[in-house]
Structure 1
Amino acid sequence: MGTLFSQGARMQRPVSPAALPGALRNDPRVRAALARRDVGSVFALAHDESGLSYNKIAEACDIRPERVSKMARGDGTVTSLPVLERICDGLQIPGAYLGLAARPWETGAPHPAPHLEEEEDPVKRRDILRGALVAGLAGPGLAAALTTTRTDIDAALAATDHTTDLDRWQATAERYGHGYHGQAPVAVLGDLIAEFDELRPLLDRPQTDRDRAALAHVTAHMAGMVAIVLHDLGHHRESHGWSATAARAAERSGDHQLHAWVLAREAMVPLNFGAAPAAAKLADKARNLAGSEPSPAGALAAAVAARAHAVSGDRERALAAVADVERVAEQLTPQQRTDTWFGYPTQKHHVHLSQALTHLGETRRAYETQAAALTLSRPPSVMTRALITIDEASCRAQDGEREAAAHIASQAFGELPEPYRTGLTRTRATALYRTLPRDTPGRDRLADALAIPG
């Protein structure tokens, strides 16, 4: 090791395939972006001005292409020193441009100094630096030494202080919590999994107790949302697994309301895929965990319990849960009613009630809550509108209007965009189809929409 890092040693490095051209490297826009460590703008300029693909940049810098693309669009930053160093090396940017020590491949730049305990007496090094400062010899060698010392301190701080990272992930979880926003579920799932790939290294680092709880809180939110999307897509086993991960994280976070929300969401998997008694047990557990104070988690748990008991045929407990969720929903604050996956918005309240009342045969009340869900100021999502309409069709069938039920359901399911004709919507429409007698007019049309063999 002493020979390799001896005085005057140089490391020759071949030119990177993603090296920035000299003109672009010294472009005022690039220099300004580098000075503020805005590597996303550098990626965008390299792509637009020099024709470098995001894949080539990603490969050279050892960063995922999706992350490079996102940062080029202004979504995300880099605070990790090792990643900044990889970007310097991959794009052949002098370290000083990013406030780093000179990189080993820079012409005439000495290799980074060895660890002091291996090759240099700390006292002697201190005397040399002190003498250089007194003599005013602020040349390249001293500047590099000062920069190396500072970046070592930055790296040590980065290893123990994750406030910035945690703030970013809390904001990310909040952003995804607003739901699909017109995106197909499979697209949202892909984005969430990509986010987890970036979150994972943070989970491996040492944490303070406070940061560990905050990180567990974020993980529970993110994993819970993955479980929701998998549930909506019909992948109930995978959804159950992600729900278990979310529950484990929520428990470690110490947030009982979040834990109750995760359990209530998990209960929806067996509820919608043929195991209502198991769903009722999970929902009742979530209700107990949420406690007596009105909360979105408590309202959701009661709503899911009402549906699960109704499907299981326990009319008394289902009606009691319906009364409970109506009482809790009235007491929620406007903030608790926000239209997110973690709130309990009025529209989703009516969607849950619609399901419970439909299974209970309370068709008059079900029609009222379906109408309320569809006439609220905020238009329902594509999936929500389809589920409400299929509930209406089920009520029509119970009231003896079977032909109308078949027509309404086939139209609602048939008009869905292809990415939404799976999972929950297909399960609900298929369940209705199976209740209709074979001689029901329009039943064949529903079978065609569902692609059920005649």
Structure 2
Amino acid sequence: MGLDEVEWAVERHGRATRYRPEAELLPELLADFGDLRLLMSGRQSEPVRRRLAVAAARMSGLVALTLLKLGDERSRSWWRTGRAVAASAEDRATLSWMYAQEAYQLYYSGDLYGAVELALRAQHWADALPCVGPALAAPLEARAHALLHDADAATDALAGGRTALDRLPEAERTESAFGYSEAQFAFHSGNAWTHLGDTDRANEELTRALHLYPRSDHMDRALVHLDQAMCAAVSGDPASAADQALTTVVNLPEQHRTALIIYRARDVADKVPEARKTLEIKALREVLALPSG
């Protein structure tokens, strides 16, 4: 595999994360990463070595992101590998992207302060560089602040995300793990407003996200629907919340029902106080308790 082929494969895998099932994509990522390591073990000129290092960092990030969605803790070591390789290449944009993606690991594991710290680090490494890292990191920072009930910080972070997205070159506003789109910003903004309890604004953004996302993006569309269910729960309609969450999970192709999807659906059920549990909530919990398949 030559250098151009390696970089093309990395970009192709980045696009594939938006529509391919994680369990299907992972073996191919690992196989291509093995080929890349073999290529890096040979003698290379400095410019070629740097390009290979950037490709390896990006590939490590894709493996980590895929493992994260599958609920596999091995993702943590892949984040470390990717950051180390990106640092060795002295590529600020890639290092910023790595920190932004890793912030999601901490966010979904419940370490909200850690998620904010990594999101801020991603924005620090990017500095004034118009790149995906800060566009991805700032809305994640906003979502973490929203869960920590800091409305001012969340609002400021969303404004930062809007600015970072507006500065992105058109080529990087793509449906790829290496891009950031208007659909994603609408989804992440809606999530932040949901956690802040502003369900009207949240639903407006979530509806916009569904309009913008392609049908092939099964995971993010499902997450948007689950956020809409969460809005219903926050608004005091547990039956509608459970019904929408249940419909989302059942209608999602089985190969896309990852640990992340189940986690978010359970979060909807957990949002309803015990005294207001309904038959719909019980049905949702029963489905979520079933083994895969």
TM-score by length of 1: 0.61
- Say which of 268, 271, 284 aligns to 1:432: 268
Q: Aligned-pair distance for 1:452?
A: 6.8
1:444 alignment counterpart: 282
Q: Where do residues 47-86 of structure 1 align in structure 2 (5 Å cutoff)?
A: none
CA distance in 2, matches of 1:245, 1:361: 38
One-letter amino acid of the counterpart of residue 451, structure 1 = A
One-letter amino acid of the counterpart of residue 15, structure 2 = H
- 2:15 counterpart of 1:183: no
Q: Deviations over 1:36-62 (max 9, x none)?
A: xxxxxxxxxxxxxxxxxxxxxxxxxxx
- Say which of 238, 253, 272 aligns to 2:108: 272
- 2:200 counterpart of 1:364: yes
2:180 alignment counterpart: 344
CA distance in 2, matches of 1:279, 1:180: 22
2:150 alignment counterpart: 314
SS in 2 for 1:335: helix
Say if 1:374 and 1:380, in contact at 8 Å, map to a contact too: no
1:355 alignment counterpart: 191
CA distance in 2, matches of 1:204, 1:414: 46
1:396 alignment counterpart: 232
Say if 1:433 and 1:446, in contact at 8 Å, map to a contact too: yes
Gaps of 5+ in 2: none
Q: Where do residues 114-153 of structure 1 align in structure 2 (5 Å cutoff)?
A: none
Q: Where do residues 210-249 of structure 1 align in structure 2 (5 Å cutoff)?
A: 210-235=47-72, 237-249=73-85
TM-score by length of 2: 0.93
SS in 2 for 1:316: helix
One-letter amino acid of the counterpart of residue 285, structure 2 = A
CA distance in 1, matches of 2:159, 2:88: 32
Q: Aligned-pair distance for 1:225?
A: 0.6
Higher relative contact order (CA 8 A, sep 6+): 2
Report which of the two structures shows the higher radius of gyration computed on alpha carbons: 1
Query: Could you say what the CA RMSD is over the residues aligned between the two structures, in angstroms?
Result: 1.8
One-letter amino acid of the counterpart of residue 37, structure 2 = R
One-letter amino acid of the counterpart of residue 220, structure 2 = T
1:304 alignment counterpart: 140
1:195 alignment counterpart: 32
CA distance in 2, matches of 1:181, 1:292: 28
SS in 1 for 2:130: coil
Q: Aligned-pair distance for 1:203?
A: 2.0
Q: Where do residues 140-179 of structure 1 align in structure 2 (5 Å cutoff)?
A: 165-179=2-16
Gaps of 5+ in 1: 1-76, 78-164
Q: Aligned-pair distance for 1:343?
A: 1.1
CA distance in 2, matches of 1:256, 1:241: 20
Q: Aligned-pair distance for 1:330?
A: 2.7
Q: Identity of paired residues, percent?
A: 34
| Number of residue pairs matched by the alignment | 289
CA distance in 2, matches of 1:432, 1:180: 25
SS in 2 for 1:322: helix
- 2:125 counterpart of 1:289: yes
Say if 2:54 and 2:85, in contact at 8 Å, map to a contact too: yes
One-letter amino acid of the counterpart of residue 348, structure 1 = Q
Query: Which structure shows the bigger proportion of residues in helix conformation?
Result: 2
One-letter amino acid of the counterpart of residue 185, structure 2 = H
Q: Deviations over 1:94-118 (max 9, x none)?
A: xxxxxxxxxxxxxxxxxxxxxxxxx
CA distance in 2, matches of 1:255, 1:283: 17
